[in-house]
């Protein structure tokens, strides 16, 4: 047994006490905002602790080269936690190998009416119908410019997840996505086109190849125009609820257009718990199926980011074994605590 394991068990027990006696007493959305503020203003302290016994660095064997980038380990933070790029260095300090911010839309929007976030404690899941509440691409671009001007911000591998503004008609979606891509790609290590959230009306219809093709083409052109000679990797994020033939169609389109990768999967609407998309362990079986199907379809070269229900080291390894190049999580971070990402990254073996 490693000497770190008793420490990890102690940290886990302490966090479980905080979870049950403090966090569960908060409204879920308030708890989310409170956590983001904590990572934002406590980032310097977390960075001082990073790499030590509190948040141990992953072993060299965990390193992954993907998207033209060198990741210290597979697991990063999924979009949805830091929607507006407010706490990137603090979140990176706890052991995530990359941070994906967003979803960011071209125009600022408040999201759906409250309540719009729920804990599904019996399955250690989360359910939300947030509706892409965010500060908008202009404000986030200014924030990212400040972030990238500082040493701590430059070191983070940063993904930027972009979505459609709610009031934008579907036929104008390519222009809407392109606006965000043009503003945000200069600060991004990679871009993700999100067409898979269930909480913006009509958004998932954009996963059809007929609707998706012009969006991806427009985003690619906008990003290239904004960054000049630098290539910003472009990925698309899909839902677990796609039929197998639609998964295949998106995979084929990604190969045809020369996308750099696919993120699979988002939250699911395949549940009976109320409105919104469900994340956490119930998503894992389908996420693994989608991942294996994508890998078989696109071959070995494309980067696939596996997300959906990863909680344990065994879950993470199963996703890697199914074909994932990189991993992301969010829901388990809420239930398992700040030591979770370092624990996962220390325990997995990436694909070679």
Residues with a known catalytic role:
197
From the CA atom positions of the chain, what is the Rg in Å? 19
Query: Is 103 annotated to bind ligand?
Result: yes
Report whether 143 contacts 162 (CB < 8 A). no
Helix (H, G, I), strand (E, B) or coil at 270: coil
Query: Is 121 annotated to bind ligand?
Result: no
Query: Is 26 annotated to bind ligand?
Result: no
Query: Is 267 annotated to bind ligand?
Result: yes
Residue 67 CA, distance from chain mean position: 15
**C-alpha to C-alpha distance for 206 and 122, rounded to whole angstroms:** 33
H or E stretch including 48? Answer: helix 43-49
Query: Is 312 annotated to bind ligand?
Result: no
**C-alpha to C-alpha distance for 47 and 38, rounded to whole angstroms:** 13
Query: Is 272 annotated to bind ligand?
Result: no
Query: Is 12 annotated to bind ligand?
Result: no
Query: Is 131 annotated to bind ligand?
Result: yes
Strand partners, 327: 75, 306
Report whether 164 contacts 207 (CB < 8 A). no
Helix (H, G, I), strand (E, B) or coil at 178: helix
List the one residue out of 65, 108, 51 whose CA is nearest residue 233: 65
C-alpha separations of 261 from 190, 253, 295, 296, 299 in Å: 10, 11, 11, 14, 11
Query: Is 79 annotated to bind ligand?
Result: yes
Query: Is 228 annotated to bind ligand?
Result: no
Query: Is 128 annotated to bind ligand?
Result: yes
CB-based burial label for 214 (10 Å; 0-12, 13-18, 19+): middle
Query: Is 68 annotated to bind ligand?
Result: no
Query: Is 80 annotated to bind ligand?
Result: yes
Residues annotated in the binding site for FMN, as ranges?
79-83, 103, 161, 194, 237, 265, 280, 309, 330-331
Residues annotated in the binding site, as ranges?
79-83, 103, 128-132, 161, 194, 199, 237, 265-267, 280, 309, 330-331
Residues annotated in the binding site for substrate, as ranges?
83, 128-132, 194, 199, 266-267
């Amino acid at each position: 047994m490693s000497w770190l394991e008793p420490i990890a068990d102690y940290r886990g027990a302490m966090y479980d006490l905080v979870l049950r006696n403090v966090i569960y007493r908060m409204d879920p959305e308030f708890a989310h905002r409170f956590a983001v503020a904590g990572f934002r203003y406590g980032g310097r302290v977390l960075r001082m602790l990073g790499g030590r016994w509190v948040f141990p660095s992953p072993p060299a064997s965990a390193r992954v080269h993907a998207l033209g980038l060198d990741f210290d380990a597979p697991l990063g933070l999924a979009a949805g936690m830091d929607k507006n790029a407010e706490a990137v260095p603090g979140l990176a300090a706890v052991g995530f190998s990359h941070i994906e911010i967003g979803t960011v839309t071209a125009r600022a929007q408040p999201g759906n009416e409250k309540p719009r976030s729920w804990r599904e404690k019996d399955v250690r899941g989360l359910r939300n119908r947030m509706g892409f509440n965010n500060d908008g691409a202009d404000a986030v671009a200014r924030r990212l410019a400040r972030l990238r001007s500082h040493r701590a911000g430059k070191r983070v591998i940063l993904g930027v997840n972009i979505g459609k503004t709610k009031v934008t008609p579907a036929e104008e979606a390519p222009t809407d996505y392109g606006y965000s891509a043009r503003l945000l790609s200069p600060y991004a290590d990679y871009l993700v086109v999100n067409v898979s959230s269930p909480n913006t009306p009509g958004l998932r219809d954009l996963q059809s190849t007929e609707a998706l093709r012009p969006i991806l083409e427009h985003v690619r052109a906008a990003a290239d125009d904004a960054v000049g000679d630098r290539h910003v990797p472009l990925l698309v994020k899909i839902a677990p609820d796609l039929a197998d033939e639609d998964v295949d169609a998106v995979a084929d389109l990604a190969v045809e257009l020369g996308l750099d990768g696919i993120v699979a999967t988002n939250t699911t609407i395949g549940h009976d718990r109320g409105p919104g998309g469900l994340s956490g362990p119930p998503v894992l079986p389908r996420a693994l199926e989608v991942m294996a199907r994508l890998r078989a379809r696109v071959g070995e070269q494309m980067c696939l980011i596996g997300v959906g229900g990863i909680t344990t080291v065994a879950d993470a390894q199963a996703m890697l074994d199914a074909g994932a190049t990189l991993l992301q999580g969010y829901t388990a971070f809420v239930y398992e605590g700040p030591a979770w990402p370092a624990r996962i990254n220390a325990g997995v073996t990436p694909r070679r």
